[in-house]
Amino acid sequence: MPYVNIKITREGATPAQKAKLIEGVTDLLVRVLDKSPATTFVVIDEVALEDWGIGGLPVEDYRRVMRADRGRVPMK
Amino acid sequence: MPYVNIKITREGATPAQKAKLIEGVTDLLVRVLDKSPATTFVVIDEVALEDWGIGGLPVEDYRRVMRADRGRVPMK
Amino acid sequence: MPYVNIKITREGATPAQKAKLIEGVTDLLVRVLDKSPATTFVVIDEVALEDWGIGGLPVEDYRRVMRADRGRVPMK
Amino acid sequence: MPYVNIKITREGATPAQKAKLIEGVTDLLVRVLDKSPATTFVVIDEVALEDWGIGGLPVEDYRRVMRADRGRVPMK
Amino acid sequence: MPYVNIKITREGATPAQKAKLIEGVTDLLVRVLDKSPATTFVVIDEVALEDWGIGGLPVEDYRRVMRADRGRVPMK
Amino acid sequence: MPYVNIKITREGATPAQKAKLIEGVTDLLVRVLDKSPATTFVVIDEVALEDWGIGGLPVEDYRRVMRADRGRVPMK
């Protein structure tokens, strides 16, 4: 009877994409640990960009720094 | 000093109902474990239906399937 | 289909007390929001005293300060 | 930069199975939402049976009831 | 690779204040445990006042009681 | 009345270091948002290395790959 919480930044994930996450992670628990889908909960939290920090910065600032300083593709 | 997090689907719980949850779970911790209400936190999260999965499906799809296939009362 | 997480300090809660918490919070959700017990999960986390802070101090230090400085009954 | 928390009952999941969960859920987030693996965290919590409740009962009691009363395969 | 979740009541924290929380807690983890900022996530949740309970009451009721009964400065 | 949860890999953080995390994050919330220490909870979770994933791998495998493939200092 697993409980899975998926936190992602709020950047336009559609209901169809969320349904794929729910299906995919439930299938994974069935496949790997033989869990029952009927007692597998998945809760998705979309977090506003200003509420997510990485590298000591809010996500948008972090991506800006990554692009400017290192020419890297910004992480999603 | 307990911390309790209650996650429910967002389906119209009123402030009065939430207050009952807060009171009820705090009383429970006092009664069972002699905890102090003053240091008991309760945080309620209402989760959009598209963000909650069970049985590998978003809640609304799951309820539809339950009703159609098995004639069961849909779970809340 | 609620999910409830109860965090308490690890101070000897017995399996019987935990069963009472599980029963009590499930009943509460049935009574207040008409939720289905079959899809109500409760997860209890016991947290070591050194891992719980309040008032800027680990719990045991906090209780010591409360007792010494204010003559208060230490909080549980 | 997703964060995923997987809670399962503590019933002998092996490091190899956990590695499959980590790999599988990361791949899922890459596939569905084009997330970067390098900033995808997965945290697995194994929860003792006495600390997990469903149907108002600790898991083991719940499984016993399910087997006795309904002849159902106990849920994992 | 720490993950930090900060839950506060929703009472007007600004993006600049949130950025200070993200920076401050990341610096703390670097300073105390020599963690890498690049793999330190901070997620801030603002919780509506009606969804946060303390002392068995929703926050606003609790503050009202504290002010009325004891003349205390309401807690934030 | 903030609640802060800090998750770190289990790699020998001492009680003194944990006390510094508790003090530091509480001070931060006082300084930035004028929160009351008396109603600020901090809960630290130490997570076994096999239970923490990044880059689709358990932490130790990830660090090994980082060292081997890129010559980078492994992330903590």
Three-state SS annotation for chain C: CCEEEEEEECCCCCHHHHHHHHHHHHHHHHHHHCCCHHHCEEEEEEECHHHEEECCEEHHHHHHHHHHHHCCCCCC
Inform me whether the pLDDT recorded for F51 exceeds 70.
yes
Partners of residue B38 in chain C, C-beta under 8 Å: 75
Contact predicate F22/C50, CB 8 Å: no
What count of other Cβ atoms lies within 10 Å of the Cβ of residue A17?
15
The angle that helices F15-33 and E15-33 make with each other, rounded to 10 degrees, is 160
Q: Which amino acid is at D45?
A: D
Task: Kindly indicate the confidence band of residue A56, based on its pLDDT and cuts at 50, 70 and 90.
Answer: very high
Q: Extract the residue ranges of chain D whose pLDDT is less than 70.
A: 70-76
Find the mean pLDDT for residues E23-38: 97
- Report the residue of chain B nearest E9, measured CA to CA: B43
- Give me A16's structure tokens: 């169809």
Domain that holds residue B23: 3-70
- Give me F53's structure tokens: 């994933």
Find the mean pLDDT for residues A17-43: 97
Mean of pLDDT over chain E: 93
Structural domain contains residue C75: no
Determine the Cα–Cα distance for residues E34 and E56; give it in Å rounded to an integer.
Answer: 39
Burial of B68 (C-beta count, 10 Å sphere; 0-12/13-18/19+): exposed
Q: Is C43 within 8 Å of A1 when comparing Cβ atoms?
A: no
Structural domain contains residue D47: yes
Structural domain contains residue A76: no
Total tally of structural domains belonging to chain A: 1
- For F3-13, write each residue's pLDDT tens digit: 999 999 999 99
Task: Kindly indicate the confidence band of residue F73, based on its pLDDT and cuts at 50, 70 and 90.
Answer: low
Structural domain contains residue D20: yes
CATH number where F60 lies? 3.30.429.10
Question: E36-40, F19-23, F54-58, F63-67: which has the minimum mean pLDDT?
Answer: F63-67
Per-residue confidence (pLDDT) for residue D18, from 0 to 100: 98
Per-residue confidence (pLDDT) for residue B31, from 0 to 100: 98
A7: left (phi over 0), alpha (psi -120 to 50) or beta: beta
Sequence length of chain B is 76
Per-residue confidence (pLDDT) for residue C68, from 0 to 100: 87
- Report the residue of chain E nearest F14, measured CA to CA: E33
Task: Kindly indicate the confidence band of residue E61, based on its pLDDT and cuts at 50, 70 and 90.
Answer: very high
Find the mean pLDDT for residues C30-50: 97
Structural domain contains residue D75: no
Q: Is A8 within 8 Å of D2 when comparing Cβ atoms?
A: yes
- Tell me which chains share at least 3 CB pairs under 8 Å with chain F: B, C, D, E
Task: Kindly indicate the confidence band of residue C70, based on its pLDDT and cuts at 50, 70 and 90.
Answer: low
Per-residue confidence (pLDDT) for residue E68, from 0 to 100: 87
Instruction: Find which of A30, A33, A42, A44 to mutate to test the D interface (most D CBs within 10 Å of its CB).
Output: A33
Q: Is C2 within 8 Å of B7 when comparing Cβ atoms?
A: yes
- Report the residue of chain B nearest F1, measured CA to CA: B41
Q: Is C38 within 8 Å of D55 when comparing Cβ atoms?
A: yes
Residue F15 is among the residues annotated as catalytic for this protein: no
Is D47 an 8 Å CB contact of chain C?
yes
**E and C touch per CB criterion (3+ pairs under 8 A):** no
Burial of E70 (C-beta count, 10 Å sphere; 0-12/13-18/19+): exposed
Active-site residue among D2, D37, D58, D74?
A: D2
Structural domain contains residue A66: yes
- Tell me which chains share at least 3 CB pairs under 8 Å with chain D: A, C, E, F
Structural domain contains residue D76: no
- For C6-31, write each residue's pLDDT tens digit: 999 999 999 999 999 999 999 999 99
Find the mean pLDDT for residues B33-37: 97
Q: Is E19 within 8 Å of A61 when comparing Cβ atoms?
A: yes
Task: Kindly indicate the confidence band of residue A75, based on its pLDDT and cuts at 50, 70 and 90.
Answer: low
Is E13 an 8 Å CB contact of chain F?
yes
